[in-house]
Amino acid sequence: MSVAAHPRLAVRAAILHQARVLMVNAYPDRMSDLWCLPGGGVEPAQSLHDNLVREVAEETGLSIRIGALFLVNEFHDPTRGFHQIELHFRATPDGPTDLSLKDPEGVVNRARWVTQDDLRRLRHKPDALADAIWSPGGAHYDRLETIVL
């Protein structure tokens, strides 16, 4: 097993619209039914917000306004030595909400708007997401999880 020198940093957006949040499936060829928030890896020399705006636009075609940080999550794959830290921000659409799934990396293949109850029934990561998105107050920390497909 090789261990990465540093954890990978990523940002994700809980885009809230009409009491729903946008979830994406980011597994090529639909190899998993696991859903997450849109977002991705942070590029050096760009702010977290700039990275998040870019990632959401690439994956969904949406323009967003970024709000408060609400969840810090980390996960790892002990078999590959992979470790990722994710910063989750609340966001709202900044324009039309028509989706355009043209992910340049070809990873995001599906997207859907879900209610909190829908999200509780949908297989998703991180585990704390359904509670954290709609919880008032500051950021929550969701401890290290193991990657699942």
Reported as a single tens digit per residue, the pLDDT across 54-80 is: 999 999 999 999 999 999 999 888 888
Does residue 125 belong to any structural domain of this protein? Answer: yes
For 36, the domain range is 8-95+104-142
Would 148 be classed as within a structural domain?
no
Where residue 28 falls among pLDDT bands split at 50, 70, 90? low
* 100 or 54, higher pLDDT: 54
Whole-Å CA distances, 129 to 1, 14, 44:
30, 9, 26
CA dihedral over 136, 139, 143, 147, signed as positive or negative: positive
Q: Which two tokens stand for residue 134?
A: 């709609």
Query: Domain of 48: which CATH number?
Result: 3.90.79.10
State the pLDDT confidence band at 92, using cuts at 50, 70 and 90: very high
- Note the pLDDT of residue 98: 86
Tell me which residue of 54, 75, 63, 51 sits closest to 22, measured CA to CA.
63
Residue 3 lies in a domain: no
- Written as six digits, the tokens of 115 are 């209610």
Model confidence, pTM? 0.89
Q: Is residue 77 part of a domain?
A: yes
In a domain, 136, yes or no: yes
Count: domains in the chain: 1
- The answer to the question of residue 21 being in a domain is yes
Residue 149 lies in a domain: no
Closest of 47, 64, 45 to residue 56, by C-alpha? 64
